[in-house]
């Protein structure tokens, strides 16, 4: 217990998700000084700049600022689909699993799920087989959705080559391609490619400003001007049209221009955490990819994952997520506020608890 007390007054080290990352001092200052207008009138120069810069960066013609990744995906699917249409999505995708079934609940859209493979891909054969024939008994298959990086698969990125194959198949079969790119800049950092290459064949893509990129809120949805006009309508109906949203977009601009280039540091830190954890006898590291790490405790650890996570939180101010999936029972994600010193502290705390 003596050692544990030494950690007592330390700051919180929050590894539950990258969504917990706070805005930086530079973001807070930019927010305070943002030039704003009414964005429903397209009058907010800071929002307009964020949308234009994001479109240029991802190689799309138009963009709209939305409140969250969930809203971005829903606006995209409402803009692409009619009620009764069907979309092909992974069975562990965020759209299917973690957005309350909004596409069905609000859009009347039928998710046709196919298995997400261990490498986060959807098999082309499974996509082909899920496309419904033109038959009055069947819903119309409108779209395929990919997720990059894939959350439930453990932060695995999808390559430009794979995405191009799906885009080609979609085009040949008259389907649209949407990418939930909540962490697309992590994927770009992992492959060391221009983010444009990862979304080249997509009709729409969303990315989040508020995860590894550290902005306090907001996502961007991109596509053709006509698609974005329809997505803006959907955003309004969902209550997501903000007024002086430039205060948020100001942080978003810093996220876009300054934070994406440091995501490699988060990946390196996730690697260091995985490496350090794997050296502790009672820890089994299951997976590390981009900024995600999954591990479980060996039987001789003498406690459950829940007890372990509770102890870490109570005694060391280290927050982790008990996960309980097949990738391991505990999940960590690195982000801007997790530095080398935090990693050393976490590894020391885990060692102390388990030994
Ligand atoms: N994911 C959150 C939780 O909702 C699970 C997290 O902590 O990772 N797409 C992907 C791939 C996501 O991981 C998330 C957030 C979203 C969309 C939704 O983003 P928000 O939280 O901004 O609605």
Instruction: Quote the ligand 1 centre to 15 CA distance (angstroms).
Output: 15
Question: What average pLDDT does range 216-245 have in this prediction?
Answer: 98
* Atom 19 in ligand 1: residue holding the nearest Cα: 69
pTM of the model: 0.95
Domain 2-21+262-354 has CATH 3.90.1150.10: yes
The yes-or-no verdict on residue 250 having pLDDT over 70 is yes
Q: In angstroms, what CA-CA distances link 263 with 89, 158, 256, 340?
A: 27, 16, 12, 14
CA-closest candidate to residue 162, choices 190, 128, 122: 122
pLDDT tens digits, one per residue of 40-55: 999 999 999 999 999 9
Q: Which residues approach ligand 1 with their CB closer than 6 A? A: 17, 19, 68-70, 94, 98, 147, 151, 180, 182, 208, 210, 219
Which residue of 20, 98, 219, 324 sits with most ligand 1 atoms within 8 Å of its CB, as the best mutation to test the pocket? 98
Q: What is the pLDDT of residue 326?
A: 65
Q: What is the pLDDT of residue 289?
A: 98
- Ligand 1 atom closest to the Cα of residue 93 is 11
List, by residue range, all CATH 3.40.640.10 domains of the chain: 34-257
Q: What is the pLDDT of residue 6?
A: 41
Question: What average pLDDT does range 67-86 have in this prediction?
Answer: 98
Instruction: Quote the ligand 1 centre to 69 CA distance (angstroms).
Output: 6
The more confident residue out of 289 and 322 is 289
* Atom 8 in ligand 1: residue holding the nearest Cα: 17
Question: What average pLDDT does range 339-354 have in this prediction?
Answer: 95
Rounded Cα gap, residues 174 and 127, in angstroms:
13
- Ligand 1 atom closest to the Cα of residue 147 is 11
Q: In this structure, are residues 101 and 95 in contact, taking their beta carbons and an 8 Å threshold?
A: no
The yes-or-no verdict on residue 1 having pLDDT over 80 is no
Question: What average pLDDT does range 141-157 have in this prediction?
Answer: 97
Instruction: Quote the ligand 1 centre to 70 CA distance (angstroms).
Output: 7
Domain 34-257 has CATH 3.10.20.30: no
List, by residue range, all CATH 3.90.1150.10 domains of the chain: 2-21+262-354
Q: Which of the four pLDDT bands, split at 50, 70 and 90, describes residue 2? A: very low
Question: What average pLDDT does range 97-120 have in this prediction?
Answer: 98
Instruction: Quote the ligand 1 centre to 96 CA distance (angstroms).
Output: 12
- Number of alpha helices (DSSP H) and beta strands (DSSP E) in the chain: 15, 13
């Amino acid at each position: 217990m003596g050692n544990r007390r030494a950690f007592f007054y330390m700051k919180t080290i929050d590894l539950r998700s990258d969504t917990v990352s706070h805005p930086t001092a530079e973001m807070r200052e930019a927010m305070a000084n943002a030039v704003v207008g009414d964005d429903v009138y397209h009058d907010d120069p800071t929002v307009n700049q964020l949308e234009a810069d994001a479109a240029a960066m991802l190689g799309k013609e138009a963009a709209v600022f939305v409140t969250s990744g969930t809203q971005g995906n829903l606006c995209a699917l409402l803009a692409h689909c009619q009620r009764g249409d069907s979309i092909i999505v992974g069975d562990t995708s965020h759209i299917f699993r973690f957005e309350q079934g909004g596409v069905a609940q609000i859009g009347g859209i039928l998710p046709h799920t196919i298995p997400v493979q261990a490498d986060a891909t959807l098999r082309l054969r499974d996509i082909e087989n899920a496309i419904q024939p033109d038959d009055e008994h069947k819903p119309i298959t409108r779209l395929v959705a990919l997720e990059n990086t894939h959350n439930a698969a453990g932060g695995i990125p999808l390559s430009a080559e794979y995405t191009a194959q799906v885009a080609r198949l979609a085009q040949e079969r008259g389907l649209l391609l949407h990418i939930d790119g909540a962490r697309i800049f992590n994927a770009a950092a992992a492959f060391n490619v221009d983010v444009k290459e990862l979304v080249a064949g997509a009709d729409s893509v969303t990315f989040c400003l508020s995860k590894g990129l550290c902005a306090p809120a907001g996502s961007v949805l991109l596509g053709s001007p006509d698609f974005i006009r329809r997505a803006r309508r959907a955003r309004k109906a969902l209550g997501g049209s903000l007024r002086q949203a430039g205060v948020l977009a100001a942080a978003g601009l810093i996220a876009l221009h300054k934070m994406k280039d440091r995501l490699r540091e988060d990946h390196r830190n996730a690697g260091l955490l995985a490496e350090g954890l794997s050296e502790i006898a009672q820890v089994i590291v299951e997976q590390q990819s981009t900024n995600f790490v999954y591990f479980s405790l060996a039987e001789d650890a003498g406690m459950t994952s829940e007890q372990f996570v509770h102890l870490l939180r109570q005694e060391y101010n280290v927050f982790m997520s008990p996960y309980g999936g097949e990738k391991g029972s505990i999940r960590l994600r690195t982000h801007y506020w997790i530095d080398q010193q935090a990693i050393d502290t976490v590894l020391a705390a885990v060692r102390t608890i388990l030994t």
